[in-house]
Amino acid sequence: MKVDRANPLWRFHGITPMAIVFFAYLYLPIIVLLVLSFNENRLATIWTGFSTKWYSVVLGNDDMLRAAKNSLIIALSATVIATFAATLAAMGMARGRFRGEGGVAAMLTLPLLVPEIVTAIATLLFFIVIGVKLGLISIIIAHTVFCIPFAYLPIRARLDGMDPALIEAANDLYANEWQAFKRITFPLLWPGILSGAMLSFIISLDDFVISYFVGGAGSTTLPIYIFGMIRIGITPEVNAISALMLIISIVFVSISFLIDRVRY
C-alpha cells in the first residue's frame, strides 16, 4: 500500500468518514440556526418562506439593545485591562528564567483548565466575602481575570519568536528600556497584542456562566437575555440574535487568526 507521506494521518482506515461525521455534528446545527433565522414563520422550526423581518425586530427591541450595550461595555473594559495586564506579564516572563517560573506560567494559564462553573461560583463567593456589590463592575472584574490567559498566550508566543539580538543591538546603541520597547519590541509585538485583545473581547462578549453568577440588577448581558428568552421557547428573534452573535464571533476570531500570522 502506498503511503501519502504528506498526509500520514489519512492512511488509517476510517479517519475520513469519522472526520466528516465530526464536522457535520459540529457545524450542521449552526447552519440550521442561520437558515431558520431567515424563516418567515413565527414558529421557528417550520419553514414557510424567506424573510429578514426578525432581524428588524431584534434591532428594534430596546431591552435587547440595552443588554447588548451592557455586553459591549463589559467586553471593552475587560479587554483593555486584561490585554494590558497580559502584556506586562508576558514581557516579565520573557525577560529570563527565575525560580518558580513554571509555577507562575501554570497559574497564568490555569483559568483555561478550570471548569467555568467552578470559576463563577468561586468568584461569586469571593465577592460576597469582601463585600463587592454585584453589577457591571463585578462582571468586569471577573471577565478581566478570566480573559487574561486568552490575551497572554498570543502575546507570549509572539515574544518567544522575537530575536533577542535585536534588543541587544538596541542596548549597544545606548537605547534605554523605553526606547527599545517603543522602537523595536512594540512594533514587532503589536500583532500578538491585537490578536490577544480580539480573543479576549469575543470571550467576554459571549460569556454566560460567569456573567450569570456575578451579575446583579441592571447588569443583564446579551447572553443572559437570550437565555431568558429561550426559557419560554425558541423563537425567530432568538435565532436572529444568535446568528448575529455567531457572525461577530467568526469575524473577530478570523481577524485574530490572520493578525497573529503577520510575520516580523
- The pTM for the full model equals 0.81
Range among 61-70, 76-85, 190-199, 218-227 rated most confident: 76-85
Residue 103 falls inside a structural domain: yes
At 119-146, the pLDDT tens digits run 999 999 999 999 888 989 999 999 999 9
For cell 423563537, what's the residue?
235
Residue 47 falls inside a structural domain: no
**Residue-range definition of the domain harbouring residue 100:** 53-260
At 3-53, the pLDDT tens digits run 455 556 666 677 778 888 888 898 898 888 888 888 887 776 777 888 888
Residue 94 falls inside a structural domain: yes
Q: What amino acid is encoded at 186 in this protein?
A: F
> What is the chain's alpha carbon radius of gyration, rounded to the nearest angstrom?
23
pLDDT score recorded for residue 262: 62
Split at pLDDT 50, 70, 90, the class of 1 is: very low
Give the CATH number of the domain where residue 102 resides.
Answer: 1.10.3720.10
The total domain count for the chain is 1
Terminal-to-terminal C-alpha distance of the chain:
43
- H-helix segments, 60-173: 62-94, 101-109, 116-130, 136-160, 164-172
C-alpha cell at 137: 463592575
Q: What amino acid is encoded at 112 in this protein?
A: L
Residue 176 falls inside a structural domain: yes
Residue 147 falls inside a structural domain: yes
| pLDDT above 90 coverage of the chain, percent | 20
Residue 121 falls inside a structural domain: yes
Residue 182 falls inside a structural domain: yes
